[in-house]
Amino acid sequence: MTVAGGTATTLARLRADGDVPVDISRVPAREAAERELSDPMYHENDPNLLQRGLNRLWEWLDNLFGSASDVAPGGPLGLVVVLLVVVALVAALWWRLGTPHRTPATAGDSLFGDGPRSARDHRAAAARHASAGRWNEAVQERMRAVVRSLEERALLDPRPGRTADEAAAEAGRSLPSHADALRRAARAFDDVTYGGRTADEPTYRHVEELDTALERTRLTLDTASTGTPA
């Protein structure tokens, strides 16, 4: 073996005249062996840093699952069943609760994020987004047009910080025949603005139809105060 040979060579060099061996202490012997083993030829087939890391990871995972399977009912098969049950429970909760919506802390977010614009401006912006297939933005702008139009017609009092839900509830009291459609439109606005949902063309068309229907609605002062259609 090369190590033995290298050590033997080192010892041979330490022999005195007359072939009388010289005693060598433990520390120099270890240093001589380390120098011999540091030769790159001994490490040509060693795994690289990534391979060593992966080997450690797999060893850790194997020990982890081995320990878990020892305490799980039914051994490894029981552990698999437990993991499947946990995954199913998480999926069921996600399906039941859906994407998180606004929390009460954000309930005061304003319907209008920028400066005041007219209903006509919001409708034009909605049309541009719809033609480009940007349904989220189209729904948002059309809902803003609905509320701004009601304010311009004095069916809603202009109020900074009003939310889509608040506007729908207030307008629904004066326009009971449109109350359900107003709530649906407000819900669509909230879904795409705060809930991370994605709108589609039918959702936008619903808000557009609501806006058109409200534009055709004419109320007298008595009707607006009592909530009875004219």
pLDDT in tens, 62-86: 776 666 656 556 566 666 666 776 7
Question: What is d(CA 135, CA 113) in angstroms, rounded to the nearest whole number?
Answer: 18
What's the token pair of residue 112? 């209008």
d(CA 185, CA 208): 9
Q: Are 164 and 189 in contact (CB under 8 A)?
A: yes
Give the Cα separation of 58 and 53 in Å (integer). 9
* Predicted confidence (pLDDT) per residue in 199-230, tens digit: 999 999 999 999 999 988 865 434 444 444 44
**Angle (CA) 61 65 66, round 5°:** 110
What was the pLDDT predicted at 3?
46
Query: What is the Cα–Cα distance from 3 to 12, expressed in whole angstroms?
Result: 14
Q: SS3 breakdown of the chain: % helix, strand, coil, rounded to 5?
A: 70, 0, 30
Phi and psi for 207 in degrees, rounded to 5? -65, -35
